[in-house]
Amino acid sequence: MKKEVNHNIRKRFNEIIYNTARYTEIILSVVILVVIALAGISMIHDITRISLWDMDIDFFTEFLSNALSLVVGVEFIKMLCRHSVQNVVEVLLFATARQMVVEHLETWQTLIGVAAIAILFAIRKYLMTGDERL
């Protein structure tokens, strides 16, 4: 009888911890989403206030870096909301692609990035079941 009571208390305590962690994830997702929205508005404001003639390669590189960071952030929120292998793979794909596109990497670093993306695509194609691909 005492063992069963301890088991029920432990089970209830585990549920409380799990629910607290889940709600914390949701709150953090909302905070991150608000920051992404504000950063997106700021990015659009920056684009509209700059002269067409001032849009050089440096401006484009900074814009691309910011835009791809927002995309990675959105994918990260999706991963927090839906715990699936597909979302994790997508976040890794976007983060790796962003790093390769925005940074001026050395040849060997680019090769490693391409290999990492190829591995992630192979994982998505060959190791994930139909339910995980959603």
> pLDDT (tens digit, 0 to 9) for every residue of the chain, 134 residues total?
666 777 788 889 899 999 999 999 999 999 999 999 999 999 999 888 888 887 888 888 888 889 999 999 998 898 888 888 888 888 889 889 888 888 878 889 999 999 999 999 998 888 877 655 54
pLDDT of residue 134: 47
Q: Domain count for the chain, please give it.
A: 1
Full domain range(s) for residue 54: 2-133
CA atoms of 85 and 125, how far apart (whole Å): 12
Cβ atoms of 60 and 101 closer than 8 Å: no
- Specify the amino acid at residue 30: V
CA 66 to chain centre: 14
| Alpha helices for the chain (secondary structure H) | 2-49, 57-81, 85-102, 107-122, 130-133
pLDDT at 128: 78
Quote the pLDDT of residue 1: 63
